[in-house]
Amino acid sequence: MNFTLKIWRQKNVAAKGEIISYDVSGISPDSSFFEMLDTLNQKLIMTGGDPVAFDHDCREGICGTCSLYINGRPHGPVKGVTTCQLHMRSFADGETIHIEPWRAKAFPVIRDLIVDRSAFDKIIQAGGYVSVNTGGVPDANTIPVPKEKSEAAMDAAACIGCGACVAACSNAAAMLFIGAKVSHLALLPQGRVEAAKRVQKMVACMDELGFGNCSNTYACEADCPKGISVTNIARMNREFLGAKLFAEKEKVVRDSL
Amino acid sequence: MTRLNARIPEGPVASKWTDYKSSCKLVNPNNKRKLDIIVVGTGLAGASAAAALGELGYKVKVFCYQDSPRRAHSIAAQGGINAAKNYPNDGDSAFRLFYDTIKGGDYRAREANVYRLAQVSNQIIDLCAAQGVPFAREYGGLLANRSFGGAQVSRTFYARGQTGQQLLLGAYSALSRQIALGNVTLFNRRDVLDTVLVDGKARGIITRNLVTGEIERHAAHAVVLASGGYGNVFFLSTNAMGSNVTPAWSAYKKGAMFANPCFTQIHPTCIPVHGDTQSKLTLMSESLRNDGRIWVPRKLSDVEKLRNQSIKPSDIPEEERDYYLERRYPAFGNLVPRDVASRAAKERCDAGFGVGSTGVAVFLDFADAIKRKGHDTIEALYGNLFQMYEQIVADNPYETPMMIYPAVHYTMGGLWVDYELMTTIPGLFAIGECNFSDHGANRLGASALMQGLADGYFVLPYTIGNYLASEIHTPRFDTNASEFTLAAQGVTDRLKKMKNSGGKESVDHYHRHLGKIMWEYCGMARNDAGLTEALYQITELRQEYARGVRIPGGLDEYNPELEKACRVGDFIELGELMVRDAQQRQESCGGHFREEYQTSEGEALRNDDKFASVAAWEYNGGEGTASLHLEELQFNEIKLSQRSYK
């Protein structure tokens, strides 16, 4: 198969980027998208060009390293897969493919198609955990969890932190990412103890880092490679509101003492 | 040749660890915050170690090449994690888990370490459940277990087909909490290119900032390597693209011995290779073998018809199918250990019975299971795996059998460590897949996650304290010291030399070439003549690589080709050592199958009189040379026997 690629090239965070056009030929339909880019890069290396930088690692759809905004969609045209699991048979022979990095204020471009997603790490650091230390925990079976809850928690926990939700959102909101983590822990008894504080801290961190707000377009869910549902955002909002009301109630009680 | 001392505590195997914990030296909390520890890698071992050490109050610096610690390749582990909880009441115990692991490793692992592993396995499950890891549960709300990888008890805990992901996210969350508390500092997008020794002790590392290209120096009182395995020496493997041996190899070149490098695991259930541009292989969880039946046609004429697509697999009647694992191993059938299953697939394909367009694949068929359990049950059990398969191969496994073939998956060899997980360099520890200690010559399914977390959460925090207790008077180090300057200069010189070498071919060209040599001569079956040939070819490759490789871009910018160039240079040297190790081990054991040493039925034939030992290699300065040291393995609890799965 042959393709024309229109790829965003940008030397570093300070440089001005531009779209450059490349042709690749003789690509097997069974090649993955990255194997197609590998072929382009080998060609560029051998002809004295500058290979295209892109993030990738496990190439099996689980590490969340890969990104790429392909033909106007995060992770490309196929629903439910990451870019590394996208195969060239999903494109038409001779097609022109546009490849850009994630676009969001909180995800600055490092080079070409690579962005800095450490904002996601900061959000988790703000509270995306259960505060237990190693050792000194009860036997695992002393905390029964209803199967439905545990399954719902697993659905939310399947998030790979790739950032497609932010890239898909016209407001560059991170609500699906945070909603997934808040839900995962709020659904489990282990996570309930800190649920109120967690959601407040994570949302505050999200605002600080320059992510936008949710306007319910559901674009995030549509483009999430792991099918994380927007019900997680609803659950987060409920948790957030509950935490706020609870905090106010607590303040009233405290003041009256 | 010297005999290595693993410093195993005295006493009965079941009380060694308890005794060790009650007698090892402790570090006062006031002193812990004056002690710095470097942890390299953020997979299950590294993330759990960094989190646990941070909780204890040490000042930890943690490094990863990925953009986030959550992306380390432990994330891709699918099947599960073993523990001796005996929740299903089916007769499991720490001793049985210990016994199975030693036997599964074909009696080439150290008893004391493995017993400890089995003992702490239960604590891992408790901790992970408390962290909120969403393990699979029964309707009563308690944890579910499954049998995995040939175990006769159900001791595997799992989170759908994403157990590694969920355990890693648990460790990552604990790590994130310590980062927020200021106990751990994270350095992402860093390659660790050298280990720094001061007065014979590990005191730091040299890193390259992958975004800016800056060469950085970091000092600490102890260094922990958790940098994973070296499966990418084969180019095609199920490892992540960035997985590499470089931190461990730099330690090897500074005096840490490298043990059993030839012990590699070829996993039987991977998606077959599609063509020359393939960049990596994808594993399909071993759990599929619980319900899938593996077969190839009995007649060569059917193989031919399948290949020219004149018949479909389902057209071949039952009696014309060769369920070769069930035929050869009636007791375990499709659930024989990985090494046995892989070799059996190779045997059939070599004999011409392989299926698929390349002839290098076998069927994994779910038709029976779907008939017996129903489509919905199979979907609930394996839905995500089937979906993954369909996405990659464009074939629906509910309707037509999957095609699979073995691929490189895990490396049992690694840096030699003693009972305390310390390498032969004082103050340098190695944990997880990076060390050699627990899996012998073959790793059992669901044991890698167990070992990574055991080392990081429950073993290292004790043993490193025993070392650091004598370091409380050592002040923090100045990275301007001559040892650091020298090491940093060495790294800079190496990068410059490589960058300016101006070769014709790209790094990938050499990496692919190395992979082909390793797969051909040092893969599933090895023999003396082949290994001699491999040694010759690798030496040539190493010399060619040293003469020049083409690397675009500069030193002081983001440059993935430069990163790869360092890694591949180290893989070439490691490949050579693997071949030497395979050559000296004149026996077959676990994943190491020497064709000269097999039973009349084609099974691995060990030589316990000569090779019940760990082969540890010491770098002695020259290229392509190393001295061999041995650690004799003592089996006091378990009687050595021929592994039989018939």
- In this model, does residue B568 exceed pLDDT 80? yes
Q: What CA–CA distances, in Å, run from B358 to A1, B366, B402?
A: 21, 22, 15
Q: What is the 3-state secondary structure (H, E, C) of B360-419?
A: CCEEEECHHHHHHHCHHHHHHHHHHHHHHHHHHHCCCCCCCCEEEEEEEEEECCEECCCC
- Does B392 sit within 8 Å of A42, measured CB to CB? no
- In this model, does residue B622 exceed pLDDT 80? no
Contacting A residues, span 128-187, partner chain B, CB-CB under 8 Å: 128-135, 137-141, 143-147, 150, 153-154, 157-158, 160-161, 184-185
- Does B561 sit within 8 Å of A28, measured CB to CB? no
Longest dimension (CA), chain B: 77
- How does residue B177 score in pLDDT terms, banded at 50, 70 and 90? very high
Are B154 and B147 a contacting pair, CB within 8 Å? yes
- Does A154 sit within 8 Å of B160, measured CB to CB? yes
- Does A150 sit within 8 Å of B134, measured CB to CB? yes
pLDDT at residue A145, rounded to an integer: 98
Shortest CA gap B585–chain A (Å): 33
Q: pLDDT by residue (tens digit) across B353-371? A: 999 988 999 999 999 999 9
Instruction: Compare CB distances from A124 to B173, B211, B552 and report the shortest one's residue.
Output: B173
What chain B holds in terms of domains, given with CATH numbers, is 25-72+166-263+412-605 (3.50.50.60), 267-409 (3.90.700.10)
Minimal CA–CA distance to B392: which of A25, A96, A61, A66? A61
pTM: 0.97
Gap between the Cα atoms of B405 and B523, Å rounded: 13
How do B36-40 and B222-225 pair as beta strands?
A: parallel
* A13, A32, A63: best to mutate for the B interface, most B CBs within 10 A: A63
- In this model, does residue B581 exceed pLDDT 90? yes
Q: Is A50 on the interface with B (CB under 8 A)?
A: yes
Closest chain B CA to residue A187: B132
Gap between the Cα atoms of B18 and B10, Å rounded: 11
Q: Is A46 on the interface with B (CB under 8 A)?
A: yes
- Which residue type does B33 have? R
Place of tokens 């969920």: B166
pLDDT at residue B1, rounded to an integer: 66
How crowded is the C-beta side of B40, counted as CA atoms within 13 Å?
38
- Does B557 sit within 8 Å of A65, measured CB to CB? no
Residue B1, exposed/middle/buried by CB under 10 A (0-12, 13-18, 19+)? exposed
| φ, ψ dihedrals at B402, nearest 5° | -65, 155
- Does A154 sit within 8 Å of B55, measured CB to CB? no
What DSSP designation does B443 have? P
For residues B277-296, give the mean pLDDT: 91
DSSP states of B66-84: SSSGGGSGGGG--S-EE--
What chain A holds in terms of domains, given with CATH numbers, is 3-111 (3.10.20.30), 118-256 (1.10.1060.10)
- In this model, does residue B469 exceed pLDDT 90? yes
Q: Where are the beta strands (DSSP E) in B453-499?
A: none
- In this model, does residue B145 exceed pLDDT 80? yes
ipTM above 0.90, yes or no: yes
- In this model, does residue B643 exceed pLDDT 80? no
Instruction: Compare CB distances from A46 to B135, B186, B506 and report the shortest one's residue.
Output: B506
Percent of chain A with pLDDT over 90: 95
- In this model, does residue B624 exceed pLDDT 80? no
- CA angle in degrees (0–180, nearest 5) for A156-A159-A164: 125
Give B176's contacts in chain A (Cβ within 8 Å).
121, 124-125, 128-129
- How does residue A257 score in pLDDT terms, banded at 50, 70 and 90? confident
Shortest CA gap A46–chain B (Å): 7
Residue B114, exposed/middle/buried by CB under 10 A (0-12, 13-18, 19+)? buried
Place of tokens 């928690």: A153
Are B604 and B642 a contacting pair, CB within 8 Å? no
- Does B506 sit within 8 Å of A45, measured CB to CB? yes
- In this model, does residue B341 exceed pLDDT 70? yes
Sign of CA dihedral B108, B111, B113, B116: positive
- Does A130 sit within 8 Å of B130, measured CB to CB? yes
- In this model, does residue B615 exceed pLDDT 90? yes
- Does A157 sit within 8 Å of B166, measured CB to CB? yes
| φ, ψ dihedrals at B98, nearest 5° | -60, -50
pLDDT at residue B385, rounded to an integer: 87
Minimal CA–CA distance to B324: which of B608, B602, B619? B602
Gap between the Cα atoms of A182 and A174, Å rounded: 12
Minimal CA–CA distance to B97: which of B78, B79, B77, B111? B111
Rg (CA), chain B: 24
- In this model, does residue B39 exceed pLDDT 80? yes
| Mean confidence (pLDDT) of chain B | 95
Gap between the Cα atoms of B453 and B167, Å rounded: 9
Mapped onto helix, strand or coil, the DSSP state of residue A87 is strand
Minimal CA–CA distance to B206: which of B214, B197, B215? B215
Shortest CA gap B335–chain A (Å): 25
pLDDT at residue A200, rounded to an integer: 97
Q: pLDDT by residue (tens digit) across A35-89? A: 999 999 999 999 999 999 999 999 999 999 999 999 999 999 999 999 999 999 9
Q: What is the 3-state secondary structure (H, E, C) of B266-331?
A: EEEEECCCCCCCCCCCCECCHHHHHCCEEEEECCHHHHHHHHCCCCCHHHCCHHHEECHHHHHCCC
Gap between the Cα atoms of B448 and B79, Å rounded: 10
Q: pLDDT by residue (tens digit) across A173-228? A: 999 999 999 999 999 999 999 999 999 999 999 999 999 999 999 999 999 999 99
Instruction: Compare CB distances from A125 to B71, B126, B176 and report the shortest one's residue.
Output: B176
Shortest CA gap A118–chain B (Å): 7
Give B134's contacts in chain A (Cβ within 8 Å).
150, 153-154, 157, 184, 188
Closest chain A CA to residue B393: A30
Q: Where are the beta strands (DSSP E) in B152-300?
A: 156-157, 184-187, 190-198, 201-209, 215-219, 222-225, 258-259, 264-270, 293-297
- How does residue B89 score in pLDDT terms, banded at 50, 70 and 90? very high
Percent of chain A with pLDDT over 70: 100
- In this model, does residue B623 exceed pLDDT 80? no
Q: Is A204 on the interface with B (CB under 8 A)?
A: no
Instruction: Compare CB distances from B241 to A56, A111, A124 and report the shortest one's residue.
Output: A56
Gap between the Cα atoms of B37 and B58, Å rounded: 7
Instruction: Compare CB distances from B68 to A117, A147, A191 and report the shortest one's residue.
Output: A117
